Amino acid sequence: GAAAMGDYPDFMAKEIAEQPEAIERLLKDRLTPKGIRLDELEMTDAEIAAIDRVYIVACGTSYHVGLIARSLIESWARIPVSVEPASEFNYEDVLVSDHTLCIIITQSGETADTLASARKMHAAGAKVLAVTNVIGSSAAREADGVLYVQAGPEVAVASTKAYTAQMVASVLVALFLAQRNGSLGYREVSRRFRELERVPGLIREVLARAWQDEAAAHAFIGAGSSLFLGRGLNSTTAAEGALKLKEISYLHAEAYPAGEMKHGPIALIDPGFPVVVICPDDRVRYKTISNIQEVKARGAVVVSVATDGDQKIAQLSDYLLMIPPAPEYYVPIVAVVHLQMLARYVALARGCDVDKPRNLAKSVTVE
Ligand code: G6P
């Protein structure tokens, strides 16, 4: 069937490898001479112009997608966005009205907390868009519009290809809203879409560098804890990398915005402590390099995600996870693939079942 493991050693390996094709499927025929085609949203120009706030609600890995989506929607479509874990949103006094667009992001479409959020939003008059992977799921049936991410069945409990496909879906939503409310013109939208079409190829390059992750896994084998650092969009990449590592290797990992490290987590660092730093070639690179120097000076084992050719970071790091140059706003989709492979290698080295980690379920259908 569609979910057979084939020649792969585990479903996680298979699903990591499937990411480029999943994204290609999602992007197919999305750009037309009129701009991004997203008929799923079923909203008129007047309704889109009236949106004064977006709420994104999700759980787990899908919540991390929401954090990325917030930045893209705010900077491209210029609409204020709140992102909440569904289990918090459901008990909060939220500012939802009939001018609110609510986006629920859920791979399975069955997470109970997320479904409860969708109902709460509906009751308050908001329009609900579901971004989901599962056709005919509860989320798909209950929402006003459904954007299927088309990643194919995801079997491994820890989400990989649904994460990247959901991020790409979020890019499409952000471009669509920006174009329809006039924040971005056709030229800008099509340029960003063309750049997005390069992402599958960039991920293929990262997949071919799995040996870098296999080598870096050594930094974690005897460790009791670890720290993941990044800035901006990549503070979310750090959060997702730490979550993957925790989920499947049972090694404690804490993610922090790199600039906040000095207010606490730096106290954790002692010789041999593994620190993963996401430091691509972007406008905050030099700031993050100073964080690498700070942890290095305290004896950390530094694993850096950096852009090809970055000699400075190469000198400061014990292990390098290199990514090809990529547009700044798409780096999270490319860089996370290294962190997925890293988590998998650490889990295998620690003798864990990467597809079925203890205590976790693929979808949590209780609140
Ligand atoms: C569970 C899974 C996670 C997933 C989360 C949300 O906790 O173990 O991998 O991210 O549910 O699932 P959803 O299907 O709503 O995206």
- For residue range 69-101, list pLDDT tens digits in order: 999 999 999 999 999 999 999 999 988 888 999
Beta bridge partners of 11: none
The mean pLDDT of the chain is 96
Q: Is the CB of 62 under 6 A from ligand 1?
A: yes
**Which of 11, 57, 62, 355 to mutate for ligand 1's pocket (most ligand atoms within 8 Å of CB)?**
62
Contact in structure between 342 and 327 (CB atoms under 8 Å) = no
Asked if residue 2 has pLDDT above 60, the reply is no
pLDDT number for residue 43 = 85
Task: State how far Cα 165 lies from the chain centre.
Answer: 9
Q: Residue 241: pLDDT band by 50, 70, 90 thresholds?
A: very high
Q: How far apart are CA 38 and CA 131, in angstroms?
A: 12
**DSSP for 226-280?**
EEEEE-THHHHHHHHHHHHHHHHH--EEEEEEGGGGGGTGGGG--TT-EEEEE--
Q: Name the residue among 54, 66, 13, 12 with its Cα closest to residue 239.
A: 66
pLDDT number for residue 105 = 98
Q: How far apart are CA 30 and CA 35, in angstroms?
A: 8
The structure tokens listed for 356 are: 């079925």
Amino acid letter at 41? L
Kindly give the interhelix angle for 331-349 and 199-207, rounded to the nearest 10 degrees: 20
**Burial class for 98, CB neighbours closer than 10 Å (0-12, 13-18, 19+):** exposed
Q: How far apart are CA 302 and CA 320, in angstroms?
A: 8
Q: Is the CB of 137 under 6 A from ligand 1?
A: no
Q: How far apart are CA 209 and CA 211, in angstroms?
A: 5
Q: How far apart are CA 281 and CA 143, in angstroms?
A: 39
pLDDT number for residue 226 = 98
Mind listing the pLDDT tens digit for each residue in 142-189? 999 999 999 999 999 999 999 999 999 999 999 999 999 999 999 999
Positive or negative, the CA dihedral 56, 59, 62, 68 is: positive
Q: Is the CB of 85 under 6 A from ligand 1?
A: no
pLDDT number for residue 53 = 96
Q: Which atom of ligand 1 is closest in space to residue 162's alpha carbon?
A: 16
Mind listing the pLDDT tens digit for each residue in 104-144? 999 999 999 999 999 999 999 999 999 999 999 999 999 99
Share above pLDDT 70 across residues of the chain, in percent, rounded to a whole number:
99
The structure tokens listed for 344 are: 């998998």
CA of 200 relative to ligand 1 center, distance in Å: 24
pLDDT number for residue 155 = 95
CA of 295 relative to ligand 1 center, distance in Å: 32
CA of 36 relative to ligand 1 center, distance in Å: 28
CA of 363 relative to ligand 1 center, distance in Å: 5
> Atom 4 (ligand 1): residue with closest C-alpha?
60
Q: How far apart are CA 267 and CA 254, in angstroms?
A: 13
> Atom 5 (ligand 1): residue with closest C-alpha?
60
Contact in structure between 261 and 302 (CB atoms under 8 Å) = no
CA of 34 relative to ligand 1 center, distance in Å: 35
Mind listing the pLDDT tens digit for each residue in 6-27? 899 999 999 999 999 999 999 9
Q: Residue 221: pLDDT band by 50, 70, 90 thresholds?
A: confident
Q: Residue 354: pLDDT band by 50, 70, 90 thresholds?
A: very high
The structure tokens listed for 144 are: 């006003």
Asked if residue 33 has pLDDT above 90, the reply is yes
Task: For residues 252-278, give the mean pLDDT.
Answer: 96
Q: How far apart are CA 241 and CA 239, in angstroms?
A: 5
CA of 297 relative to ligand 1 center, distance in Å: 37
Q: Active-site residue among 14, 34, 127, 362?
A: 362
Q: Is the CB of 317 under 6 A from ligand 1?
A: no
Q: Is the CB of 235 under 6 A from ligand 1?
A: no
Q: Which atom of ligand 1 is closest in space to residue 108's alpha carbon?
A: 14
Q: Residue 247: pLDDT band by 50, 70, 90 thresholds?
A: very high
Q: Is the CB of 61 under 6 A from ligand 1?
A: yes
pLDDT number for residue 1 = 45
> Atom 3 (ligand 1): residue with closest C-alpha?
60
Active site (annotated) includes residue 246: no
Q: How far apart are CA 146 and CA 276, in angstroms?
A: 36
**Which of 64, 362, 366, 367 to mutate for ligand 1's pocket (most ligand atoms within 8 Å of CB)?**
362
The structure tokens listed for 16 are: 């990591």
User: Can you state the percent helix, strand and coil of the chain, rounding each to 5?
Assistant: 50, 15, 35
Sheet architecture: strand order including 274-278? 252-257, 225-230, 274-278, 301-307, 319-323
